[in-house]
Structure 1
C-alpha cells in the first residue's frame, strides 16, 4: 500500500435544491482533485438539507437512482480519485436512510454505511431535533477498503460514541471519519475536542467534512471541516464557508502512534460494581 496520500474535505452549505447541491459537490470535488487530492470527502447530507419532512420525502429516492451518487461516481472515474460521500438521504420504505457512500477510483461503490446514532436532542438555545421521526438508524459498523488502508465510516452524531471508533480501529481501520451537519451550538462546544479525542484514543487519522453556515431551511451549522493526525494534531481545518481544505496523510504515523501508546492492545475485560453507602458497616454487624 502507498505510504502517503493527500486527503481533502469539501465543505458545503447544502440547501433544499438537490440539483444545485449535486452541482456544488461536483465542483468542490473537482477543485480538490485539481489541487492534488487523491481522497475527497463531502459532508453529511451532501445532496439535501431540508428540515421539513414532507419536502425531504418529496425529493429523495432509492440509492440506485440518486443523482448525487451517480455524478460523484463519474467524477471519481474521471479523476482517478477515491470519493467519500459523507452522506445522502435515500428512501428506505416509510423512512429515509442517512447513508455514507465510499467510491473507488474506477467509480465503483466500495461500501455504504447508514448512520447508527440518531440525533434526538433538545439544546439549551431551544433547538430541538428528532432524527428518528424521519430516519431509520443503521445497525452495523462499516470498514471500507482504500488504496492506503481501511477507512472507518461513521456520520456526525456517531462521533460522541467512542466504542464505535474503538471497534473500527480494533478491526483494522487506520483512518476514521465523521462527516457532519453539526449544529453551530454543539460544534462550537465540542467539534474539535471530540475529533482529537477519537484520533488519540485509537491512534488513527480523523477526516471529517462538514456543512457550514446558515442554510435555506433556517438551520445554522458549524463548518470547520477537520483533519486530525493519530497524535491529535490538527493538520487542516476550515472556517464556516464552503470550500476545500487539504492535508498530506502519512500512514506511517498510525503505526508510530499505536507503537508509542498501544491502548488498542492494552484493553482488559472488567465488570462494573456499585458500592452502596453503609454496606460495609451492615456486613460487619
Structure 2
C-alpha cells in the first residue's frame, strides 16, 4: 500500500482548506498513492467558538466532505479524512473522521471518544467537552490492503481503544491530530511508536503543523511507524505532502516474532491486598 500523508496548516476558511485537500489528492494520485491521510480538523481550525460557528455545517452540507468525495471518485483514490468539525445535534459539534473509498463512498465514520480537557503549563486551556459531543464506539473498517482502525488525536493516550481496534483485526491505525507543541515535543513520537509496537501494526498519523490563522501553534511531525516500532516517515514542522510504502506482510512477520496479541488475556478485577 502506498500512503500519502498531508501535513496541513488548516485555517478558518473551509473552502480554502477543501482546495488544499483536493490539490493534495491530485498530487497523491500522480505520485502513485492508494490512499491519502489528512489531519484532525481538516476543514476548519479556529479556537474562537463564536466566529467559527457561522462556518460550521452538518455532514450533509459540509463542502469539504463533498469536495473530497467528488475528487476521490474522479481520481480513484481512497481517503482517510482525519476529521472534520461538523454541526451536530442539541447545539453540540462533532469531531468526526471519515474513510472514503475510491468511488467516493463513505465506508466508515468515527466520532472522537476521548476529548481534550486540560490546562497546560504553557497557559493553554482546552475544554473540548464543552463544545463537542463524545463518540460512543470504536470503528475499524475494511480496505483493500487491510483493516484500518480509526482514532483522533487525544485518543492516542488511551491504549484500551487500540486494543479494541487490533482485537477487531486492524493492521493499520490512523491517528490524525492537531497536537500542541508542548505535548508533541514530550509525547508524540513515543506514544505513536508504543501503539505500533504493542500490537505489531502500522500507525499513520497525519498532523496539523505550524502557526495557524487563529494564533495557535501545532506540532507537525506527521509520522508513519512500522509494526516493529521503526519510524518510516517524519514530516518535520512544515506543511506539505509526502509518501510512504507500507508492506502489510510485515504485520504477520512481526507478530510471529513477538506474538503479544496471542498472549492477551482478560484482566480480572483488582483484589484488595
User: Which TM-score bucket, shorter chain as reference?
Assistant: over 0.9
Whether the aligned pair in 2 keeps the contact of 1:199 and 1:229 (CA below 8 Å) is yes
Where structure 1 has 5 or more consecutive residues not aligned to the other structure, the ranges are 276-285
In structure 2, C-alpha distance between the alignment counterparts of 1:235 and 1:111, rounded to whole Å: 26
Are residue 81 (structure 1) and residue 77 (structure 2) matched?
A: yes
- In structure 1, the partner of 2:171 is 174
> In the TM superposition, what is the alpha-carbon distance from 1:52 to its structure 2 partner?
1.0
Are residue 43 (structure 1) and residue 39 (structure 2) matched?
A: yes
* TM-score scaled by length of structure 1: 0.93
Alignment of 1:17-96 (within 5 A): 17-93=13-89, 94-96=91-93
Where structure 2 has 5 or more consecutive residues not aligned to the other structure, the ranges are none
**Residue of 131, 142, 146 corresponding to 1:145:** 142
- In structure 2, the partner of 1:165 is 162
In structure 1, C-alpha distance between the alignment counterparts of 2:264 and 2:142, rounded to whole Å: 25
Whether the aligned pair in 1 keeps the contact of 2:204 and 2:223 (CA below 8 Å) is yes
> In the TM superposition, what is the alpha-carbon distance from 1:225 to its structure 2 partner?
0.6
Task: Flag the structure with larger Rg.
Answer: 1
- In structure 2, the partner of 1:272 is 270
Whether the aligned pair in 1 keeps the contact of 2:39 and 2:208 (CA below 8 Å) is yes
In structure 1, C-alpha distance between the alignment counterparts of 2:185 and 2:94, rounded to whole Å: 27
In structure 2, C-alpha distance between the alignment counterparts of 1:272 and 1:31, rounded to whole Å: 53
Whether the aligned pair in 2 keeps the contact of 1:16 and 1:49 (CA below 8 Å) is yes
String of CA shifts for 1:222-264, please: whole Å, max 9, x gaps.
Answer: 0111100100011111011111121111010111111111111
Backbone CA RMSD of aligned residues: 1.0
* TM-score scaled by length of structure 2: 0.97
In structure 2, C-alpha distance between the alignment counterparts of 1:120 and 1:274, rounded to whole Å: 31
